[in-house]
Structure 1
Amino acid sequence: MAQDRDDAKDSKSLIDTGRRGLMQGAGLGAALSLLGAVSGGGFISTAQAAESGFPSHKKWKIVFVNHVTTNPFFVPTQYGIQDACSLLNMDYQWTGSATSDAGEMVRAVNAAIAAKADAIAVPIVDPTAFDKPIQAALDAGIPVFAYNADAPRGKKNPRLAYIGQDLYLSGYQMGERIVSLIDSGLVGLFIATPGQLNIQPRLDGASDAIKKSGKKIEIQTVATGATVNEELSKIKSFYLGHQDLKGMFAVDAGSTQGVAQVMKENNLPSKGVHGGGFDLLPTTVQLIHEGYLDFTIDQQPYVQGFYTVMQAFVTLASGGLVGPADTNTGLKFVTKETVEPYLNTSTRFEGKTTKPQIVPMSGAIKS
């Protein structure tokens, strides 16, 4: 019996250590490994969570409104939401628009308010459309978080925190990478939905960096559309009309995949054409490995879901005493030299499998 009590005490200590690390911003893998060790490889149960110091609570529901609900980019985001909800005994709803319709998204936010959601998360893809509904939610006592896209720089929006990439900076760094590859000539910059705040700042940043370089690079911006099929069609058409171009680069996941496919179909690297973009759709990753794209930029969609749920949980558990904080989900260039791990592992973290798992660390960590 004494040994049982000692084991239970050690187990509780592990849970406490893991949860403190998770809440204080420790590495995601390390924190989940600690939690997984307690539960034999899975996430801790609600009963175990209660033992660790959190009192029992209602199963809070967070409504995630999205601008492209069926886009494959957000598959790992939804897995992150599911995993965090499982860990923290919460529930969620995934809703919004399949075609980046801001009006449809606003109606979804209003519906969540009417249904008395406990928290709401929404990408602010329009500079003004979400101001009033977000304020209405806050007035009703519902915390609201922006994820993936935020209000324009310098513009105040009442959301409590933003969880996502610094979009302008990521675009600017892409522009710097472009000018390191190309000295002059025509470059196509592809964007799914111009003006929308999840991707327009990237385009602005890339354009600014190219212009600042002073190189004789001509930029042509091409709107490709909200679905991968129309994106591919627009990119093919642009190339056929501009076969003297020197580069094709995209600021969204679907257009990046389309650029990669057109680069392969026409063997453009052999003609001195460079390409790149954003995100880790499987086709993009494979074609980087095959040498048809120079790079893609990972913005870690899994944690855009996971950290948003965590922030909502802490806000609700503390009665708002613990204030939410903006969280930059990062910028990571993935190239042919660094793409191998993305090909050789199949996890929920990249949206490739439904199976929850802890991925062992292997070798040196690359920033």
Structure 2
Amino acid sequence: MERTQIGRPLLGRRLSRRALTAVSVLAVAATALTGCTSGKATDDGAGKSTATAGGGAAANKGNGKNSIYVIGGKPDDPFWSAIKRGGEDAADLVKAGGGKVTFLGPQNYDNLGPDAAKLTLTAISQSPSAILVPDWVPENQDAAIKQAVAKGIPVFIYNSGGAEAAKRVGGVKYIGSDDYVAGKAGGVKFAEEGAKNILCVNTVPGSANQEARCKGIKDGAKSKGSSSKQLPLPSSNFGNPSAVTQAIKGALLQDSSIDALVTIGVQDADSAAAAIEQAKAGDKVELGTFDLSQSQLDRIKDGKQLFAIDQQPYLQGFYAVSMANQYLSYGVLPPQNPLLTGPLLVVKDNVDKAIAGTKAGVR
């Protein structure tokens, strides 16, 4: 599959301010066909215009001095670095209008839902123009997100939760991949390649998007006559390569019928590759993962990994920040909900283009 036009100019360099303006308008308005909406704005008592909850028109119309808070993942998580890169590129346009974009993230994933809720409350306390947040663990996060909406702060759900989450909490829109659809594509691919018993390794059990990924794998495999089960590991194992490797190795040695492994992220995929090697199962166990990194792409190119499911995180960050900025400033809003950024299955046939994007920091 060809890379989108929005991605090609970014390879190897940042966009100029003029290019960012053009790209943002094209990405958020032109591709949306008829993206302009209207509604009311209210005064917050300090002379600043803020969008009404659920209202069509945006805050600071024609002003552009927007304060956007983006809640994301750990600072050292390579997946989130791609999302942040996209958000930072879009933030250049926000800054050009006199606004700012602030990124917040947890230090670890041990208490993801409650921590994300606290970060949302922190953002609310700063009286932002808009909040962008994944809805990872709804039972922990939804109350905080609804609190922002009740205060008249436009909320965009991105990366996790889907259009259902945006509707449930009163968010403006969802930007990202559909994790269930992405998982289903992976399950179908495994089955088509002959896998019969697939293990989905989940190091963040209970997280809505990770559960949806493993369910998609299971349903996709089932649709082609194969089966899948989940290996839930303590969330404290996330980012602990040795612990994840040993857990996967143990599962492979215990069940010799497992002929495919899929992990919820790239760090775990590296651990899974080590586990397959240590269990001496490389000749019979296929490997797949969600998301991309250089090691995944190298293995795909070398024929040691079947696929990586790319939700194109750069686009999530870029589209989310761009969309919020245009909505706040001009009331421009694409009609599509969700606005999907994936999935795109990276396999041996298209891996070279993905490698180029990874080197540029956008995949």
Q: TM-score, normalised by structure 1?
A: 0.74
Q: Partners in 2 of 1:26 and 1:218 — Cα distance?
A: 38
State the 1:300 CA deviation: 0.5
State the 1:213 CA deviation: 3.2
Match for residue 206 of structure 1? 217
Q: Partners in 1 of 2:178 and 2:23 — Cα distance?
A: 28
Amino acid at match of 1:242: L
Kindly report which structure 2 residues correspond to 1:335-346, keeping only aligned pairs within 5 A, or say none: 335-344=347-356, 346=359
Match for residue 235 of structure 1? 245
Structure 1 pair 138–206 and aligned structure 2 pair: CA distance change class (3 A): same
> What secondary structure does 2:117 align onto?
helix
State the 1:20 CA deviation: 4.6
Q: Partners in 2 of 1:80 and 1:130 — Cα distance?
A: 24
> What secondary structure does 1:198 align onto?
helix
Match for residue 85 of structure 2? 79
Match for residue 143 of structure 1? 154
Amino acid at match of 2:154: P
> What secondary structure does 1:348 align onto?
coil
> What secondary structure does 2:208 align onto?
coil
State the 1:108 CA deviation: 1.3
1:94 aligns with 2:94: no
Q: TM-score, normalised by structure 2?
A: 0.75
Amino acid at match of 1:219: K
Q: Partners in 2 of 1:61 and 1:221 — Cα distance?
A: 41
1:65 aligns with 2:74: no
Q: Partners in 1 of 2:20 and 2:77 — Cα distance?
A: 36
Structure 1 pair 126–255 and aligned structure 2 pair: CA distance change class (3 A): same
Q: Partners in 1 of 2:263 and 2:245 — Cα distance?
A: 10
Kindly report which structure 2 residues correspond to 1:122-137, keeping only aligned pairs within 5 A, or say none: 122-137=133-148
In terms of Rg, which structure is larger?
1
Q: Partners in 2 of 1:322 and 1:209 — Cα distance?
A: 30
Q: Partners in 1 of 2:195 and 2:79 — Cα distance?
A: 32
Match for residue 37 of structure 2? none
Match for residue 181 of structure 1? 193
Q: Extract unaligned runs of 5+ from structure 2.
A: 1-17, 33-59
CA contact (8 A) 1:192 1:231 kept: no
CA contact (8 A) 1:268 1:292 kept: no
Amino acid at match of 1:95: L
Identity over the aligned pairs, expressed in percent?
23
Match for residue 300 of structure 2? 288
Q: Partners in 1 of 2:223 and 2:241 — Cα distance?
A: 28
Q: Partners in 2 of 1:301 and 1:75 — Cα distance?
A: 9
Q: Extract unaligned runs of 5+ from structure 1.
A: 1-12, 28-53, 351-367
Question: Match for 2:275 among 262, 281, 301?
Answer: 262
Q: Partners in 2 of 1:263 and 1:57 — Cα distance?
A: 56
Amino acid at match of 2:248: F
Structure 1 pair 260–335 and aligned structure 2 pair: CA distance change class (3 A): farther
State the 1:174 CA deviation: 1.0
Match for residue 35 of structure 2? none
Q: CA RMSD in A?
A: 3.1
Kindly report which structure 2 residues correspond to 1:265-344, keeping only aligned pairs within 5 A, or say none: 268-269=281-282, 271-318=283-330, 325-344=337-356
Question: Match for 2:29 among 24, 31, 36?
Answer: 24
